Amino acid sequence: MEIADIKKEKYTIVEIAGRLDTTNYQELETNLQEKLDAGARNLILDCTNLEYVSSSGLRVFLMFLKKIKGLNGKFFVCSMQDEIKEIFKISGFTSIFDIYENRDQAEAAM
Partner 1 sequence: MMEKLVLKNRVDELQKLNVFIDELLEKWSMPPNMGVNVNLALEEVFSNIVFYAFDDDKEHDIIFQFDQLKQGVNITVTDAGKAFDPLQTPPPDDLEKPAEERHIGGLGIHFVRSVMDEISYKRQDNKNVLRLTKYNSRENRA
Q: How far is the CB of 69 from partner 1 (least distance, A)?
A: 6
- What does DSSP say about strands 2-7 and 12-20: parallel, antiparallel, or unpaired? antiparallel
| 3-class secondary-structure state, position 105 | helix
- Binding partner 1 by CB under 8 A: which of 1, 32, 44, 65? 65
* Site for partner 1 contains 18 (CB under 8 A): no
Euclidean distance between CA atoms 71 and 104, whole angstroms:
24
Euclidean distance between CA atoms 35 and 31, whole angstroms:
7
- Contact region with partner 1 (CB under 8 A), list: 6-14, 32-40, 47-55, 101-109: 47-55
Residues that bind partner 1 (CB under 8 A): 19, 21-23, 52, 54-56, 58-59, 62-63, 65-66, 69, 83, 87, 90-92, 95-97
